[in-house]
Amino acid sequence: MLDARTVAGLGSEHRRWLVANALIIPIFANAVLNGTIAWATSLGERTVPMVSVPLIQAPSTLTDTLGTLVVLPFVTTLLVTAAVRREQRLGRLAPLKLGSRLLRPLGGAPANLVRRAARFAVICVGLLGPFCVAALVASDFGPVTRSSFVLYKVIFGVCLGIVVTPLIALAAMAEPR
């Protein structure tokens, strides 16, 4: 989806925006948010199991991972798309001219922000969910200490953000006006 021609077609303003707003800021935001959420949801727990019943039992690595695969791209799409639209409206970021080529693998990106966010969330959990489940099961990951769970969530959230945020930003920059 993101080939050398696409990257070469980005102006310096787009590259700067992507580095600052789709990489650097999300790294810190995802570290703080995912760490805080993991810490808060595991309060009172000494260990966190790999599997538990969501919303009934204590958090688990597996359900939390799958939840992050949905929530992170959903919220990121809402925030990043709104930010890109604002920058474009203020004339600080020109629309990209590679919309159809960029969005085709994503099945197009709906103009409705909530639908767009839902589509990115479904794509993310659909593509990465099976891999994450298999990796956790194969590694016999749980149970882990609460601090290990928080660290895992920080690392997972940052890595996921590094993957999805630039793609979401590029789709927003390339949407038809």
Whether the predicted pLDDT of 176 surpasses 50: yes
Q: Which of 29-38, 39-48, 91-100 has the highest mean pLDDT?
A: 29-38
- pLDDT of 175: 82
Q: Dihedral of CA 13/19/25/30: which sign?
A: positive
Cβ neighbours around 78 below 10 Å, total: 16
Q: Tell me the whole-structure pTM to 2 decimals.
A: 0.87
Please state, rounded to an integer, the average pLDDT across all residues of the chain: 87
Token digits of residue 104: 């085709």
Average pLDDT over residues 20-34: 96
pLDDT tens track for 135-165: 998 988 778 999 999 999 999 999 999 999 9
Which stretches within 43-145 are classed as H helix? 61-89, 99-103, 113-139
Provide the pLDDT confidence category of residue 1 given band limits of 50, 70 and 90.
very low
Average pLDDT over residues 32-42: 95
Residues contacting 133, CB < 8 A, separation 6+: 62, 65, 66
Cα–Cα distance, 121 to 131 (Å, whole number): 15
Annotated domain spans of the chain: 4-173
Provide the pLDDT confidence category of residue 55 given band limits of 50, 70 and 90.
low
Provide the pLDDT confidence category of residue 124 given band limits of 50, 70 and 90.
very high
- pLDDT of 164: 96
**What percentage of the chain reaches a pLDDT higher than 90?**
67
- pLDDT of 10: 81
Cα–Cα distance, 96 to 37 (Å, whole number): 35
